[in-house]
Structure 1
Amino acid sequence: MTKEGELRVDFVGGAVGHRLKFGGGRGQDLAKAMGLRKGKTPMIVDATAGLGRDSFLLASLGAQVTMIERSAQMHALLAQGMQDAAREGGEFREIIERMTLLHGDAKDLLPDLGGEAVLIDPMHPPRKNSALVKRELRQVREIVGTDEDAADLLRSALEHARKRVVLKWPAKADPIEGVRACSHQILGKSTRYDVFMVG
């Protein structure tokens, strides 16, 4: 049992369960950015798994998703969350069966994975405004720290992805320095997806 307020990965209840029921399928910005469309379901690598929510959403839409998490603590939380969801059976088990979890640094693992589409969602730069980031995301930041090597990871992904790399980034944040311009963007209210077509 997790204590009240303790960080856990929950693929069954809360925001994830709600998004599964009412999320809008392949019309969602993330799905469009990753190249999921009618008759097309790419093999996806989520290079910065975090709480695993984007991976779960993509797997719920039929994609095979390999998640990479380098924090041992975050990896353990993900593994537990996947076990719990698989135990629920039914649709949850089917989705989890399309998800593979790896522990390690994505820069080391990407060359051997051959993902068609690679998703990168680094810990975002601190907000310019003073609004407190949601508690859960603060807890994640405490575990994984800031991703100082985000530019290196993005460059590695651009080198090894077969079709596209997608950077999930705050809508108003500056582009990551030292990386070529993206091919196009999908803009949401608070988040944007910078899509880099490769290959």
Structure 2
Amino acid sequence: MLPPESPPDLAVACSALGDSLAAKLLAEKLELPFLGTLRPRDVRDYDVLLFSDDSGLCLQVTGKGAPGPVRAEFVTGKAGYRREHGGGTGQLIAKAVGLQKTRQSLHVVDATAGLGQDAFVLASLGCRVKLFERSPVIHALLEDGLARAALNEQSAPISARMALQPGNSIDWLRQADKGAADVIYLDPMFPHRDKAALVKKEMQVFRTVVGDDDDSPALLAAALAIATYRVVVKRPRKAEPVSGPVPTTRIEGKSSRYDVYSIKALPSG
């Protein structure tokens, strides 16, 4: 994701039960201030913290009355529920990727991974998923979430099929050979004109930190040049498609849809 035009004041800190050494090393790696041990509600000079607590690494808005932490979570919460009670290949994302059409284990590249929730769903359905997230801050959250998932008996086999990559996906796509991925999945961040789209705390914090993806047409073009079977783009249900070729088909849900760009038929066996 591209950095926003006016990035927030961001720092790294930890709670009394957080990993202070790891947080300090992360601050040095990301070239961010390290504030030591504190309570986010007491911070006034920084808008958002990359915060280490007893549950791992999170993004935490500072000040009193701020929403709760946002983290890459694959053991509990939404991911845990979907792991235990998910809809299998009947889920919209599974249909879009084509899991109902093949019994083969697909190699999927999630080129805009975010907090990795969609990648986790695909991995739970047997896909091997390569994840790219170009925001260093969100990449750090993903790395922490996957490390914690690897320690959990239920989520470890799924996270083992998820490989987080360094760098920017568009650079990888432009250098990769044709057929380097069966399916490429894109969920780019777009400017939202509908204020209602900002109600989720995850989206609020995301937009505060990472801004919008302004190079989505180039990312789609690069993906189409590499994917073997299809490219899938997740969009708000009423939004315009990404500039470029017309999607082959669309799969619509209540609030979002998947634009599918088919290249050739998936193998049935």
Is 1:99 the counterpart of 2:162 in the alignment? yes
CA distance in 2, matches of 1:153, 1:198: 16
Amino acid at match of 1:192: R
CA distance in 2, matches of 1:28, 1:41: 17
CA distance in 2, matches of 1:159, 1:142: 32
Amino acid at match of 2:114: G
> Which deviates more, 136-145 or 74-83?
136-145
> Which deviates more, 108-117 or 140-149?
108-117
> Which deviates more, 130-139 or 61-70?
130-139
Cα distance, 1:131 vs structure 2: 5.6
CA distance in 2, matches of 1:12, 1:44: 21
Counterparts of 1:39-78 in structure 2, within 5 Å, are: 39-78=103-142
Cα separation, partners in 2 of 1:131 and 1:70, compared to 1, 3 Å: closer
Task: Provide the secondary structure at the position in 1 that maps to 2:190.
Answer: coil
TM-score, scaled to structure 1: 0.93
Amino acid at match of 2:69: E
Amino acid at match of 2:247: C
Cα distance, 1:144 vs structure 2: 1.9
The Cα offsets for residues 99-144 of structure 1, whole Å up to 9 and x where unpaired, read as 0001211111124271110000001330425463301111122222
- Please point out which of 76, 80, 85 is paired with 1:13: 76
Larger proportion of strand: 2
Task: Provide the secondary structure at the position in 2 that maps to 1:11.
Answer: coil
Amino acid at match of 1:14: G
- Residues 59 and 65, structure 1, Cα contact 8 Å, conserved in 2: yes
Task: Provide the secondary structure at the position in 2 that maps to 1:162.
Answer: strand
Cα distance, 1:5 vs structure 2: 2.0
- Structure 2 unaligned spans of 5+: 1-52, 61-66, 265-269
- Please point out which of 167, 172, 181 is paired with 2:238: 172
CA distance in 2, matches of 1:14, 1:8: 11
How many matched pairs? 197
Counterparts of 1:24-43 in structure 2, within 5 Å, are: 24-37=87-100, 38-43=102-107
CA distance in 2, matches of 1:25, 1:66: 20
CA distance in 2, matches of 1:104, 1:184: 31
- Residues 56 and 96, structure 1, Cα contact 8 Å, conserved in 2: yes
Is 1:109 the counterpart of 2:172 in the alignment? yes
- Residues 35 and 42, structure 1, Cα contact 8 Å, conserved in 2: no
- List, as ranges, runs of 4+ consecutive aligned residues in structure 1 with deviation greater than 4 Å: none
- Residues 72 and 103, structure 1, Cα contact 8 Å, conserved in 2: no
- Residues 108 and 185, structure 2, Cα contact 8 Å, conserved in 1: yes
- Please name the residue that 2:250 is paired with: 185
Is 1:120 the counterpart of 2:183 in the alignment? no
CA distance in 2, matches of 1:132, 1:101: 27
- Please name the residue that 1:87 is paired with: 151
The Cα offsets for residues 133-172 of structure 1, whole Å up to 9 and x where unpaired, read as 3011111222221001111101110111111000000000
TM-score, scaled to structure 2: 0.69
- Structure 1 unaligned spans of 5+: none
Task: Provide the secondary structure at the position in 2 that maps to 1:91.
Answer: coil
Cα separation, partners in 2 of 1:124 and 1:59, compared to 1, 3 Å: same
Amino acid at match of 1:58: L
The Cα offsets for residues 62-93 of structure 1, whole Å up to 9 and x where unpaired, read as 110000010111111000000111111x2311
Task: Provide the secondary structure at the position in 2 that maps to 1:16.
Answer: helix
CA distance in 2, matches of 1:127, 1:15: 27
| Largest Rg, 1 or 2 | 2
